Amino acid sequence: MNEILQLLVYGLVLGSVLAMGAIGVSMIFGILRFAHFAHGDFMTLGAYLGLAFIAAFGLGAWWALPAAMLGMAIVAVGIDQLIYRRLRRTQPVILLISSFGMALILRSLVQLIWGSDNQTYVSGIQFPWRLDWLGGLRLKPDHAWIVLISAGLIVAVHLFLSRTRLGKAMRAMSDNMDLARISGIPAERVIMMTWIIGGALAAAAGVFLGIDTRLHPMMGWTTLLPVFAAAILGGIGRPYGAIVGGMVIGLSMEMSTLLISASYKPAVAFAIMVLMLIVRPQGIFKGTL
């Protein structure tokens, strides 16, 4: 029982990370109509930007978060303006290929600048709290923070999408791009906002991963497949679906270790995704693709 609770905690933490990535992927997929294969490496670069910031100013690990989010928001918009924007009128698959190439570019840049060794935000081990009232469950403060901050970010995204005009326009464009044009909604502004949010949340996911484990140039790429699985599970273009998808995939991946080897965790995410694609490709919340 205790083991199950422990895995539940890990599942929530992983789920939070995946949700952060999946919201961005889902929105980019819904509005720009392509699978953004560089999103994992957005997470990686975000994590490393955060590392550079705290190293430069000698700050605590959690200061990496705002720096990473701001940094990646800018980088994401930059990449779109420089490259993706010019490919918008071509076949959607060209954007996919380009993003695949972008992933490699970002990854190799990270490797060139920071090297391929593992890095961490802080040295030393953090001692977990022991929650006796939950059967002696061990909870690392970092885990609690990751889940709480993710929840906060999710609330912020929700408020943006449901209360602001630009947020509603984003949902509208995801629903029906042509009608959005017909209504006069400025597509480029919505697209820019999509990259800002996508980049910032991806950076958050990267920082969470870095804080929970360590930083490594491949850290985002290995998370990309579960992130895609979460986005597809929730329904493309459905940010709330992405959150649910992230949690389901995260929990499934961690719980699966009760039955199968931990090295096959990505396979669990993949299996769920393939099942969805066969049985209900529009996802739980009926996405726009």
- Nearest approach in angstroms of CB 27 to other proteins is 13
Contact flag: residue 289 with other proteins (CB under 8 A): yes
Please report, to the nearest 10 degrees, the dihedral formed by the alpha carbons of residues 156, 9, 284, 209 taken in order.
60
Which of these segments, 44-52, 130-138, 225-233, 242-250, binds other proteins (CB under 8 A)? 225-233
Q: Residues 8, 59, 74, 83: which binds other proteins (CB under 8 A)? A: 83
Among 12, 34, 210, 230, binds other proteins (CB under 8 A): 34
Q: What letter represents residue 226's amino acid? A: P
Kindly state the helix (H) or strand (E) to which residue 54 belongs, with its residue range: helix 39-57
Contact between 288 and other proteins (CB under 8 A)? yes
Residues touching other proteins: how many (CB under 8 A)?
63
Closest to other proteins by CB, 102 vs 215, is 102
- Binding track, positions 238-277, relative to other proteins; x by CB under 8 A: x----------------------x-xx-xx--x--xx--x
Q: Phi and psi for 186 in degrees, rounded to 5? A: -75, 105
Q: Does 284 bind other proteins (CB under 8 A)?
A: no
DSSP 195-258: HHHHHHHHHHHHHHHHHHS-B-TTHHHHHHHHHHHHHHHH-TT-HHHHHHHHHHHHHHHHHGGG
User: Contact at 8 Å (CB) between 237 and 175?
Assistant: yes
Other Cβ atoms within 10 Å of 12 Cβ, number: 19
Show Cβ contacts of residue 132 under 8 Å, excluding neighbours closer than 6 positions: none
* 74 binding other proteins? (CB under 8 A): no
Compare residues 9 and 180 and give the one whose CB is closer to other proteins: 180
Residue 66 CA to residue 288 CA, distance in Å, equals: 31
CB 204 to other proteins: min, Å: 22
- Residues contacting residue 65 through CB under 8 Å, at least 6 positions apart: 50, 149, 203, 204, 207
Binding mask 172-211 for other proteins (x = CB under 8 A): x-xxxxxxxxxxxxx-------------------------
* Contact indicator for 95, 87 with CB cutoff of 8 Å: yes
User: Residue holding tokens 């995204």?
Assistant: 157
What track of x and - describes contact with other proteins for positions 87 through 116 (by CB under 8 A)? x--xxxxx-xxx-xxx-xx-xxx-xx--xx
**Does the footprint of other proteins cover residue 29 (CB under 8 A)?**
yes
Only segment of 6-14, 31-39, 51-59, 200-208 that touches other proteins (CB under 8 A):
31-39
Residues 64 and 70: their CA atoms lie apart, in Å, by 10
Residue 138 dihedral angles phi and psi, to the nearest 5°: -95, 125
Residues numbered 108 to 167 that lie near other proteins (CB under 8 A) are: 108-109, 111-112, 115-116, 165
Where on the chain is the footprint of other proteins (CB under 8 A)? Answer: 29, 33-35, 37, 83, 86-87, 90-94, 96-98, 100-102, 104-105, 107-109, 111-112, 115-116, 165, 168-169, 171-172, 174-186, 225, 228, 232, 238, 261, 263-264, 266-267, 270, 273-274, 277-278, 281, 288-289
